[in-house]
Amino acid sequence: MDITLERYHGLGNDYLVYDPNKNELELNEENVKMLCNRNMGLGADGILEGPLMEEKQMAVRIWNPNGSIAEKSGNGVRIFAKYLKDAGYVQKKHYTMLTDGGEVEITYLNEEGSRLKVSMGKLSFWSDEIPVIGERRQVINEDMVFGRTLYPATCVSIGNPHCVIPMQEISEPLVCKIGRESERARYFPNHINTELMNVIDMNNIAIETYERGAGYTMANGTGACAAAGVAYKLGLTSNKVIVHMPGGELQVEIGDDWEAYMTGDVFYVAAVKLSSEFVEMLRAV
């Protein structure tokens, strides 16, 4: 049986959609790594597997390129919602989707389903919910050491964990340097995503992201929500900001109850049919 995956991207954060209802291949850590390999596979920042049915709701399983499972992905959720509309699974303008990091509410803002608003869930700064080691507290502006350098870090969960570090200057090399150390730092028992954040003004911030299990990415939806929440929590911005990333912009609004709302675009690229030889290699691992 032929195996076909759909390629999409959200602000340069690219995913492959694997629909188990149309293909016969059991994804696992090893064949996900093969598929995401940019030299010997298709190349991607991850794989979105679904739709899966859980509790009578459509769900998506989000694979990182290293074969681990991600609880939630802002770009991934928007991409998967676009696929559900493209494939005819969803006709409604508004519905709820399940992820391993909780429910997200999807609203299509145009007929094509390429622009979406997503209610991503509530932000939590509590250490046991992120998690961060130590006594229960809100992890706000704490000194943390990554690679022998001290940084002021604020940590937050939006169904997945984030460490946000405000800085005057941010860059890809710097976030990679810090992120390689912070991802598996002793503070974080489940590892963590890292965002370097520069506050431009009360309505604009810029971030660079190093993703847990993926490395450097051009854009990160949950990271954008996390950074916007941290900027608002620290009193640096209003509750509505545009988050600027190398791949593009997302609009993020933080509600009174710390619910994060994200608005942005996604793009369909191509359907990719795998060769029979490659499929056999995937089945063999």
Q: Binding site: what residues are annotated? A: 13, 64, 74-75, 160, 193, 211-212, 221-222
Instruction: Determine contact, residues 161/193, Cβ cutoff 8 Å.
Output: yes
Ordered DSSP codes for 31-68: HHHHHH-TTTS---S-EEEEEEEETTEEEEEEE-TTSP
Instruction: Dig out the tokens for 258 from the structure.
Output: 């710390």
Q: Let me know how long the chain is.
A: 285
- Tracing tokens 């559900």 back to the chain, one arrives at 84
Where is the binding site for substrate, in residues?
13, 64, 74-75, 160, 193, 211-212, 221-222
44-81 per-residue burial string, b: 16 or more CB within 10 A, e: under 16: bbbbbbbbeeeeeebbbbbbbbebbebbbbbbbbbbbb
C-alpha distances out from residue 266 to 12, 43, 75, Å:
9, 18, 8
Instruction: Determine contact, residues 158/233, Cβ cutoff 8 Å.
Output: no
Ordered DSSP codes for 127-142: GGGTT-SSSS-B--SE
